[in-house]
Structure 1
Amino acid sequence: MRKRLLPVNLESYKPLREIVFETIREAIISGHLKPGERLMEVQLAEEMGVSRTPVREAIRKLELEAFVVMVPRKGAYVAGISLKDIADVFEVRAAMDSLAAGLAAERITDEELESLERALVSYTESSDQNDLDDSVYRDTSFHDIIYQASRNERLIQIVNNLREQIQRFRATSLAFPGRMKIAVDEHKKIVEALSERNIALSQSLAQEHVENAENSMLEALQKNGRLTKLDHGE
């Protein structure tokens, strides 16, 4: 496994075990650590400049959150992605995004619309530069503005609970060739519908956007041979 983790910031106020956990989880979400890849405690510890103990604790916690699977007599592996995982997450996200867009079309402020426009410009720039990591960040920021504009705290809470799973799939979807630029166009249409206070169109476009993201993810995984029916960690 080539080096993909940076040394951790030991001056952070967070406990070391939490920093190590977040670092490995982010590497899985971003795709730097891929499904089916074995997690070697010694190598991970060396890359991050820490001892094996916080790495071992992080792996155990990642297993509880379904990011890692333990295979008897073999060790820890990044959990694979199954069709069921994808279907479950995208079904929920499509419903949430559609609901959020409909509510935002009624409740969004002029300041939030302006923030969406700025987020769209930033996302377009990242897409033009083919910067995947920044595109994932900009895409997340764009949707967060819409969730906030929904004025529904329960909805926002549910979205936050699913954030890690959504982020993992978002990175894989946007990595599919051409998806980032298509997503920019879809974002533009959503902003226009919200600006027009068109509830039905905002809902429809938001749902279509999520469905297209799911299709891109499936194509990306099938192309790379990373789609599994079961998580064997092999």
Structure 2
Amino acid sequence: MGTDFEVTMDEYLPLRDVVFNTLRRAILRGELKPGERLMEIQLANKLGVSRTPIREAIRKLELEGLVLMIPRKGAEVAEITEKNLRDVLEVRCALEELAVQLACERIDEEGVKELRDAGLHFKEVLDSDDITQIAQADEAFHDVIFTATGNSRLIQLLNNLREQMYRYRIEYLKKKECYPILIAEHKEILDAIAGRDKERATRVTSQHINNQVDTVVDTIRHKDE
């Protein structure tokens, strides 16, 4: 069982919700891996809680499709499926295409500088071999674009989708051969937005996301062979 995830206590949330959020985040970030069994006693000991909130959290995770209950085996983390991947990234593509179009219209010089700095930071952390840090830097690059839209509803929708995307982002970033492509795509997105070229920004963003789909689908299919 993965041991890297941590519980973050929140005085405003019931314990069962804290446990649920902790396990959900660990699954989405790949700290609890697809196919990994969720042992109530081990999880309770790790998080310093009783088995009851663990059991309640597992039930809620099953409803979200992140956990499967296997007869005579118990709970395990659901595998990443091609259908779920495509569902999530189709929505992401539509929202991010809108985001780059609005960013082309509304970004200011400070925003362009922030986006350029975020792209450089992403390039720097690729040498760290820390997938979580790399994923966070990738998110930070896109966050600058979302902020530049000035559309709070769009930002909220993208933030709501963030954790569902994170699971697939982690899978993609495990492929180091994709890093040069990512760097080039980030630069193209930056150049298009800085040049206020909506058509180019939309095209490159779509390509950026579709490359992620193709890579993760290939990973899924090879696992199934």
TM-score by length of 1: 0.87
Q: Which amino acid aligns with 2:98?
A: L
1:8-51 Cα offsets, whole Å, 9 max, x none, are 355x4243323322221122112121222221111111222222
Task: List runs of 5+ in structure 1 lacking aligned partners.
Answer: 229-234
Residue of structure 2 equivalent to 1:232: none
Task: Answer with 193-202 or 80-89: which moved more.
Answer: 80-89
Q: Rate the CA distance shift 1:6–1:203 in 2: closer, same or farther, 3 A.
A: closer
| 1: CA distance, partners of 2:5 / 2:152 | 35
Q: Which residue of 1 aligns with 2:85?
A: 86
SS of aligned partner of 2:134 = helix
How many residue pairs align between the two structures?
224
Partner of 2:121 in structure 1? Answer: 122
Aligned residue in 2 for 1:63: 62
CA separation in 1, counterparts of 2:78 and 2:172?
A: 17
Question: Is 2:168 the counterpart of 1:169?
Answer: yes
- Does the 8 A contact of 2:19 with 2:57 survive in 1? yes
Q: Is the 8 A contact 2:6 2:22 kept in 1?
A: no
Where structure 2 has 5 or more consecutive residues not aligned to the other structure, the ranges are none
Report the Cα distance in structure 1 between the residues aligned to 2:163 and 2:131, rounded to whole angstroms.
Answer: 17
RMSD after superposition: 2.0
Task: Give distance in 1, aligned partners of 2:170 and 2:180.
Answer: 14
Matched residue, 2:193? 194
In the alignment, residue 40 of structure 1 is paired with which amino acid? M
Cα distance, 1:199 vs structure 2: 0.8
Q: Give, as a single letter, the amino acid of the residue that structure 2 aligns with 1:188.
A: K
Cα gap change, 1:150 to 1:6, in 2 (>3 Å): closer
**Quick check: 2:5–2:31 contact (8 Å CA) kept in 1?**
no
2:209 matches 1:210: yes
Matches of 2:184 and 2:5 in 1, distance apart?
34
Specify the alignment match of 2:3 in structure 1: 4
* 2:51 maps to 1:52: yes
Residues 99 and 78 (structure 1), Cα distance of their counterparts in 2 relative to 1, 3 Å cut = same
Scaled by the length of structure 2, what TM-score is found?
0.90
**1:6 & 1:15 partners in 2: Cα distance?**
19
Q: How much does 1:146 deviate?
A: 1.0
User: More deviation in 13-22 or 46-55?
Assistant: 13-22
1:100 match: 99
Q: 1:41 to 1:156 in 2, by over 3 A?
A: same
1:155-214 CA-to-partner distances (Å, cap 9, x unmatched) read: 223222322211111111111232234212211111111111111101111111001111
**In structure 2, what is the equivalent of residue 231 of structure 1?**
none
For residues 85 and 120 of structure 1, what CA distance do their matches in structure 2 show? 28
| % same residue | 44
